[in-house]
Amino acid sequence: MNMRTPLKKVYHLGSAKEGASHFWLQRVSAVANLFLVIYLMGLIISLAGADYITVREALSYPLTALLLLLLILSGVIHMRLGMQTIIEDYIESEGTKIVALMLNTFFSVFIGAASVWAVLKLSFGA
């Protein structure tokens, strides 16, 4: 006899195997991006053409560094989820899909790690 309820059986069986959490995280990160990207555009406009010392000082200012770290976090989560959707839509072969999804994760984590390293070094490094 099967004691599992019908809900339990279909749970996690959607194409992404993770229910609505992909959608929700995509939206939360999109809202965070909205504010943080507007901030980033302001920052970049104010630094256009600035010399090295000025850029370094601006990027290591505590609030700036903090907001940059938050943008890196929400940006990386968002771009990874977004590219996952694109991959799932266009790649049919299961093997290729798994490899592409893995590369997507590696790329996103790499970009995130490099950027976080840079911001931390600007803040705390010599």
The contact set with ligand HEM (CB under 6 A) reads: 26, 30, 33-34, 37, 75, 78-79, 82-83, 85-86
Q: How far apart are CA 21 and CA 124, in angstroms?
A: 35
Token code pair at residue 69: 């770290």
CB of 19 to ligand HEM, least distance (A): 16
Number of H helices, E strands in the chain: 5, 0
Q: Which residues bind another protein (CB under 8 A)?
A: 27, 30-31, 33-34, 37-38, 41, 45-46, 48-49, 52, 55-56, 59, 68, 75, 79, 82-83, 86, 111, 114-115, 117-119, 121-122, 125
